[in-house]
Amino acid sequence: MRVAGFVIHGSHSKTLRACLESLLAVCDEVVTVDSESTDGSAELVRSLGVRSKIFPWQGCGAARGEAMKLLAPADYVFFLDADEWLNEESLARVLAWKKTQATLPYYTLQRRDWAELPTGRFMYRKETRKRLVRWDHARWAPDMILHDALPKDDAQKIPGAFIEHHFADSVRGIEEKQELYSLLYAVRLAAMGKRSKSTFGIRSAHVLRDAVVKGALFRGGLDALRLAWAVSKTHARKYEILREIEAGKHSDLLGLFRDERYDALFKEALARF
């Protein structure tokens, strides 16, 4: 079975080596799409002999679509984010899967989100992610500007295979990221014709899920609770911003999305923070 791999990266030199080494260990071909990094990430990619293309950031869909253009056809595509990697046992599990007669459109791995705060390191949560995609299903469109782009089709888990994820190094950083994500989510929802809804209890429900049901509170204490509150922000804030759009605000961002000017959309959105 032939597996092609890719990663989209910006200035991610801290985690990019581990990501690329994981991809190189299991893939027959690896490429990167560089969204104009400035921290030596490009030199790191070259040192590992990986092909790369500079592609200004226009969102996940456009970047992943560009990566697919660089790859030769394969049976499956394996992709990681620039702050993700596989440990030795997980690499072995994926290599064992590669020897099977895989046919499903998607295979999933559990991702372990690690918080590396000034007060300590702990696993925040586990989540399931589709990272192995059959070639004929590996299609990303430019309007898929956020991470949740793949359809919710049937998928099968690869037992014992974990993606390690550098999730957070500060609560403040997560808060800022969630505000940006909320704005982009809201613009996309508005363009799809979705309507706002009540946000009552949304954040509390997500904090309960991550902190208690998924156990972050027991591993990280009050730091985990603060982080869970910051992470929950986007689940409510996107509907608050959607309500603002319905009232006439952010019309410029909505126009940029509808005109498919995704590069300008991200630049304008980032300029608001």
**Cβ(135)–Cβ(73) below 8 Å:** yes
**Cβ(174)–Cβ(252) below 8 Å:** no
Among candidate residues 162, 189, 212, the one where a domain is terminated: 162
Within this chain, do residues 92 and 203 fall inside the same structural domain, yes or no? Answer: no
pLDDT for residue 148 is more than 70: no
Which two three-digit tokens encode residue 136? 């004929």
Within this chain, do residues 140 and 243 fall inside the same structural domain, yes or no? Answer: no
Among candidate residues 101, 132, 162, the one where a domain is terminated: 162
| 227 closest CA partner among 213, 211, 238, 239 | 211
H or E segment to which residue 118 belongs? none
Residues spanned by the domain of 223: 171-271
Within this chain, do residues 220 and 133 fall inside the same structural domain, yes or no? Answer: no
Chain centroid to CA 137: how far?
Answer: 18
Within this chain, do residues 40 and 155 fall inside the same structural domain, yes or no? Answer: yes
Within this chain, do residues 136 and 46 fall inside the same structural domain, yes or no? Answer: yes
Within this chain, do residues 150 and 183 fall inside the same structural domain, yes or no? Answer: no
Rg of the chain taking only CA atoms, in angstroms: 19
Q: What's the pLDDT tens digit per position in 55-111?
A: 999 999 999 999 999 999 999 999 999 999 999 999 999 999 999 999 999 999 999
Within this chain, do residues 23 and 101 fall inside the same structural domain, yes or no? Answer: yes
Which two three-digit tokens encode residue 18? 């581990």
| 143 closest CA partner among 179, 194, 189, 177 | 189
Q: What is the CATH number of the domain that holds 43?
A: 3.90.550.10
Within this chain, do residues 63 and 112 fall inside the same structural domain, yes or no? Answer: yes
Number of domains in the chain: 2
Within this chain, do residues 53 and 101 fall inside the same structural domain, yes or no? Answer: yes
CA dist 177 and 153 (Å) reads 28
Residue 149: pLDDT band (50, 70, 90) is: low
Within this chain, do residues 7 and 134 fall inside the same structural domain, yes or no? Answer: yes
Within this chain, do residues 147 and 49 fall inside the same structural domain, yes or no? Answer: yes
Q: What's the pLDDT tens digit per position in 250-272?
A: 999 999 999 999 999 999 999 98
Q: What's the pLDDT tens digit per position in 195-251?
A: 999 999 999 999 999 999 999 999 999 999 999 999 999 999 999 999 999 999 999
| 111 closest CA partner among 232, 5, 13, 19 | 19
